[in-house]
Amino acid sequence: MVSAQTRKKNLKQIGFLAIAVLLVLAATLGFQHWWNQRNMREPQEVTINVSAPDQELEVSPYTVVEPGKPAEDHEIPTIRLGKDDSLKIVVPEDVADHDWTLLKIYDDPQANDEQAFGPHESSEASVPAQVKSEKLNANLVVVEVTSVMIGHDEQGEETPYRVTWSVHPEVK
């Protein structure tokens, strides 16, 4: 026969277990509600900031491409940059919270470079207007930031998009 003390101890344990299950269930439902209601911008709405000593631009995507669909190009903005200046690129949290790349294209292909950033690694980068060495004297022609972002297709379903922001530095 089970004593009253053992029965009381078992009831306490069952009660604590029930409370723990309810807390886990509440946390799961709360997270799911937050996830579904989060304020997520569509990829085509996300802009990056590009600045030179005398100018600052808010740049919209050059292309937003859904897998298997053709890309629609947009106009590439131009920013003035002195030969000794650097171009500062600042990406928003929507981009910096996952992988993104920075492609630097110069008028001499030997100077071209690409940097890859991991999640929360960096939200900004600097690009020199000119690369000089014994063998090189190259001016910056195009800078591109590329990232894969989640957006919604025509049916409202979440889908990945390859988003590219492009800027043409006019080096003087």
- For 141-153, what is each residue's pLDDT tens digit? 999 999 999 998 8
For residue 145, what pLDDT is reported?
97
> Which tokens in the block code for residue 106?
């110069």
Same-domain status, 57 and 34:
no
Same-domain status, 91 and 30:
no
Q: What is the mean pLDDT of the chain?
A: 89
If DSSP codes are grouped into helix, strand and coil, which group holds residue 24?
A: helix
Contacts 24+ apart (CB under 8 A), 149-156: 149/43, 149/46, 149/94, 149/95, 150/40, 150/43, 151/42, 151/43, 151/44, 151/64, 152/42, 153/66
Confidence of residue 8 (pLDDT cuts 50, 70, 90): confident
For residue 1, what pLDDT is reported?
61
Same-domain status, 34 and 48:
no
The contacts of residue 152 (CB under 8 Å, 6+ apart) are: 42, 158, 159
Of residues 87 and 41, more confidently modeled: 87
Q: Which domain holds residue 64?
A: 43-171
Same-domain status, 34 and 60:
no
Same-domain status, 82 and 22:
no
Same-domain status, 63 and 15:
no
Same-domain status, 55 and 96:
yes
pTM over 0.85: no
> Which tokens in the block code for residue 5?
């003390």
Tell me how many domains the chain contains.
Answer: 2
pLDDT over 60 (residue 55): yes
Question: Alpha carbon 152 to chain centroid distance?
Answer: 16
Residue 100 has φ and ψ, to the nearest 5°, of -150, 155
pLDDT over 60 (residue 39): no
Same-domain status, 34 and 47:
no
Q: What confidence tens digit (pLDDT) does each residue in 107-126 have?
A: 999 999 999 999 999 999 99
Same-domain status, 70 and 125:
yes
For residue 153, what pLDDT is reported?
85
